[in-house]
Structure 1
Amino acid sequence: MVIILLTLGLIGLVVLGLWFGWRARRRRQVNIPAPLPVPDRLLATEPLAQAQGIYVSTVRGEDWLDRVAVHGLGIRTRAQCEVHPLGVVLLLEGSPNFVIPFRDITQISTSSGMVGKFVEKDGLITIGWNLGQIPVTTGFRTRNSADQHTLLETMHQTSQQRQPE
């Protein structure tokens, strides 16, 4: 009985430590602005490409382990990714939806993982972008590889068309 109580106490301490750590991370990141919400008019238009999958998280810069904890950006959830002429829209379950305008995107690539999800080589779509003045990277995993290819192709083509001459 004593071993069970000690084990439960230890588990409780670990959970409490995780909670305090997440709270401290959020306090340190108060300077990170909220991403742009998705305009209603954009939701009413047909996307150029879309896919169901998993929103992995958003991290600061290219540090795959420095998760952004504010504005719901650090919570892994099911999502739909859509490409529109304005930018990439992420429709998240249980977190605020947001749009990444093409003007803010610095890199569209693939990776084998980031905090919260590690997969096969090039299994994640990663989007490097500027959230205000702060460089961040957002990860998305499609349900199937055909959708990943379509999203990447459309993102690359649309972002190149949006580049100023």
Structure 2
Amino acid sequence: MITELAQEQAKVTNWPGYIGWAVGILIVIGLVYWLMRQGWNWRRTLQSDIPELPPVPEDLGPVLLTATGRYHGTTTAGNWLDRVVAHGLGLRSLAELTLTERGLLARRPGAEDLWIPAEALTGARRDSGIAGKVVPSGLLIVTWTHHGTALDSGFRADHPDEHTAWVTAVEALVTPSTTKTTKTEEEAAS
């Protein structure tokens, strides 16, 4: 008797109900994706006052450091949940980072390359998160200004132990420009 029950199969008799539920779920999923897209476009419209990013120069200057990894996005400085999506800054992608004496270049396949001139860099740090991405072992956060707006860009190197060297190198690059600016302001005041 048990073997007879085990061999018996349930027949699907309510096909219209199953099809209706499947179509309903697909419509809900489609609606959620459409709303997410609308939110992204709305954010882009709100940030339309952010000027175009600086172009990548022909001569990058002497290379200080290179690394491969991922670009995780840009936020307004100090607010790691306020993602900046204007000019492709919100798109995650693979990245090849190059730090030179003239600035930081993030070559991003499938997205516009990001060039941050040395005079725009204001610092770097290790942190655990940026908009939509939390990594306990850490991210490299580079702080920079773009036409008066302070921004944080998050990167994760393929070898996260390199982040400390990057923080040191960016800080060394930022410190001399701060000293030069202070000396120039003092000379102008004299």
> More relative contact order in 1 or in 2 (CA 8 Å, sep 6+)?
1
**2:132 aligned residue (104, 112, 116):** 116
Secondary structure at the aligned position of 1:35 is classed as coil
Partner of residue 47, structure 2: 29
Work out the number of aligned pairs and report it.
162
Partner of residue 133, structure 1: 148
**1:63 aligned residue (70, 79, 92):** 79
Distance 1:116 1:93, change over 3 A: farther
Q: Which has the larger radius of gyration?
A: 2
Partner of residue 51, structure 1: 67
**Residue identity matched to 1:116:** G
Q: Indicate if the aligned counterparts of 2:70 and 2:157 stay in contact, CA closer than 8 A.
A: yes
Secondary structure at the aligned position of 2:124 is classed as strand
Answer 1 or 2: which has greater helix percent: 2
TM-score, normalised relative to structure 2: 0.80
* Distance in structure 2 (CA, Å) of the matches to 1:58 and 1:18: 18
Partner of residue 11, structure 2: none
**2:176 aligned residue (134, 143, 161):** 161
Quote the sequence identity (%).
30
CA-to-aligned-CA distance 1:87-137 (integer Å, 9 cap, x gap)? 11111111111221222222211110111321115x111112111121111
Q: Indicate if the aligned counterparts of 2:62 and 2:101 stay in contact, CA closer than 8 A.
A: no
Q: Indicate if the aligned counterparts of 1:50 and 1:151 stay in contact, CA closer than 8 A.
A: no
CA-to-aligned-CA distance 1:64-92 (integer Å, 9 cap, x gap)? 11111111100010001111101111111
The answer as to 2:92 corresponding to 1:76 is: yes
* Distance in structure 2 (CA, Å) of the matches to 1:162 and 1:143: 29
Return 145-154 or 74-83, whichever deviates more: 145-154
**Residue identity matched to 2:156:** R
- How far the C-alpha of 1:50 sits from its partner, in A, is 0.7
* Distance in structure 2 (CA, Å) of the matches to 1:82 and 1:88: 6
- How far the C-alpha of 1:46 sits from its partner, in A, is 4.7
**Residue identity matched to 1:153:** T
Partner of residue 101, structure 1: 117
Report the RMSD for the aligned CA atoms in angstroms: 1.5
* Distance in structure 1 (CA, Å) of the matches to 2:177 and 2:79: 27
Secondary structure at the aligned position of 2:51 is classed as coil
TM-score, normalised relative to structure 1: 0.91
The answer as to 2:104 corresponding to 1:88 is: yes
**Residue identity matched to 2:136:** E
* Distance in structure 2 (CA, Å) of the matches to 1:133 and 1:58: 15
Q: Indicate if the aligned counterparts of 2:123 and 2:171 stay in contact, CA closer than 8 A.
A: no
